[in-house]
Amino acid sequence: MSNEVAQAASRAREASLILAQATRATKDAALLAMADALVAATPQILAANAADVAAALADGTPEHMIDRLKLDESRVADFAQGVCDVANLPDPVGEVVRGSTLPNGLALQQLRVPMGVIGMIYEGRPNVTADAAAICLKAGSASLLRGSKSAQNSNRVIAETMREAIASVGLPADLIQAISADRRETSTDLMTARGLVDLVIPRGGAGLIQAVVENATVPVIETGTGNVHVYVDADADLEMALNIVMNSKTHRNSVCNSAESLIVHRDVADEFLPLVISALIDAGVTIHGDKTFMAADERVVPATEEDYETEYLSADIAAVVVDSLDEAIAHIRTYSSGHTEAIVTKSLDAARRFTVAVDSAAVMVNASTRFTDGGEFGFGAEIGISTQKLHARGPMGLQEMTTTKYIVTGSGQVRGGVVDPNAPGCV
């Protein structure tokens, strides 16, 4: 492990002990100071970001990655507001998850407590620097932020701005640290800093996530890619379906909750396909369709197996016509990444069957997939969307960034009786 990561993690662990004892008032004051400082530093943040964007363009970075990287005054204001929103949320630390008094008089409580030190490894989205730092701080943990080299100027200025802000209210600046992206090894060092880092969260493309999952020795919460589906059922309101498909695909196609696949029931295909194909193509979307889609419009290009497996993050969508709800569910279970799926239907039975059978972190009924977002769910700024099933699933907010411990309070009780070592069972 490099000295940089080891030293940063050691400083973060010491700082986290101070934060664990801080009141909600102190944490909220720090968050509000962070939000104000980010707004005040907008010119410096945008100047740093302009340098990152220029370098990315010179390297031939794809358009959808440039969209994720690029900041403007509105985007800075949005993530600063996200930090402010986190300050206004209830503090999860100290929340009683469950409690009881045992027959022997012991008072048992399970409380939410901070993780300690959380490492983030992420690609190309400077807003994650602010989002992650804010959620970790409110949840009582220090954050080690290892962004991509493509955004390192932006990340450095954002992190330094927040460090100065929390120091101004008396908390250690080392609760927020940006890890250098100059060397690839710092990612490996962070994900293997077992004993210094309590949790690592990768956020980015499939390659990054897979590398962290396979190589980390620190516990990992896996944020997944978004091969997201919209299914238009036989009983769909087709005007509603068109609005949902268009919003899911075109509202912002470079993000993980953007629709990447469209499934249409054959009973409504003759009426719906001409509408949706024209609307998508007019919006600049390339449709990779099956034979039915191709027969409906010569502008549809043929879909391959790879298309149905792909998270495009671009103005592309895979499309297929199915003969039944069961076939739609089977298609989703075959190709989905487990992020978000949507059904458009007027049938309560179809909606029920879809929500039960589709095994994804979020399932929408008659609503856009773009709503799978911590802010839209009322969690404040999210730290990522988990597609795994252990500890956290879906948009991860404050509660998901805590763990629990048991507090047992007695009045002198001791465990009595003589234990027979040959007795069966657990004693």
Residue 295 CB neighbours (<10 A)? 13
> Over 70: is that where the pLDDT of 34 sits?
yes
pLDDT digits (tens, 9 = 90+) for 59-79: 999 888 898 899 999 999 999
What does the pLDDT read at residue 343? 98
Nearest residue to 404 (alpha-carbon basis) of 109, 17, 15 = 109
What is the number of alpha carbons within 13 Å of residue 347 lying toward its C-beta? 14
pLDDT digits (tens, 9 = 90+) for 373-421: 888 888 766 788 898 888 889 999 899 999 999 999 999 999 986 656 6
CA distance 122 to 119: 10
pLDDT digits (tens, 9 = 90+) for 325-346: 999 999 999 999 999 999 999 9
- Give rounded-to-5 percent helix, strand, coil for the chain: 45, 20, 35
Is residue 127 within 8 Å of residue 79, measured between CB atoms? yes
Q: Is 193 strand, coil or helix? A: coil
Nearest residue to 119 (alpha-carbon basis) of 96, 136, 102 = 136
Structure token digits, residue 110: 């399970």
Burial class (CB in 10 A: 0-12, 13-18, 19+), 101: exposed
DSSP string, 393-404: -EE--TGGGEEE
Q: β-strands 107-114, 96-101: how paired?
A: antiparallel
DSSP 8-state secondary structure symbol assigned to residue 179: P
Confidence of residue 425 (pLDDT cuts 50, 70, 90): low
Domains located in the chain, CATH noted = 3-223+396-408 (3.40.605.10), 228-371 (3.40.309.10)
Confidence of residue 205 (pLDDT cuts 50, 70, 90): confident
Strand partners, 407: 109
What does the pLDDT read at residue 345? 98
User: Among 3-12, 199-208, 254-263, 281-290, which is the least confidently predicted range?
Assistant: 199-208
Q: Which amino acid is at 233?
A: D
- Four-residue CA torsion sign, 89, 91, 92, 97: negative
Q: Which amino acid is at 95?
A: E
Structure token digits, residue 297: 């419009």
What does the pLDDT read at residue 378? 81
This prediction's pTM: 0.85
- Average pLDDT in the 238-248 region? 98
> Over 60: is that where the pLDDT of 26 sits?
yes
Q: β-strands 117-122, 142-146: how paired?
A: parallel
